[in-house]
Amino acid sequence: MKPIKLFYLKDCPFCKKAFAYIDNLKRQAIYELIEIELIEESEQAELANQYDYYYVPTFYVDGVKVHEGGVFEREIEEIFKKAIE
């Protein structure tokens, strides 16, 4: 399984939706073992500054940016599929 990094801000409404979608998808057996490294941008600014993105939530799979900005559940499912390929 490829590692996923999720950059977010705790007060971001788009990030809150992303977390709800993630929780919903992880109820499915195929996705329940997916682990996501959570990086809160304002609390881990030094780490966040090492990555090329502007909007949150931003997802990286195996070091490659696969999504940036507002997200829908189907898009997170595609991210999960890339992680388990």
Mean confidence (pLDDT) of the chain: 97
Question: Which residue is it, tokens 């490659």?
Answer: 64
Beta bridge partners of 59: 6, 67
d(CA 35, CA 50): 21
Task: Tell me if 25 sits within 8 A of 73, measured CB to CB.
Answer: yes
- Tell me the domain boundaries of the chain: 13-51
pLDDT at 65: 98
Two structure tokens written together for 83: 């992680």
pLDDT tens per residue, range 23-66 = 999 999 999 999 999 999 999 999 999 999 999 999 999 999 99
pLDDT at 62: 96
Q: What is the pTM of this model?
A: 0.95
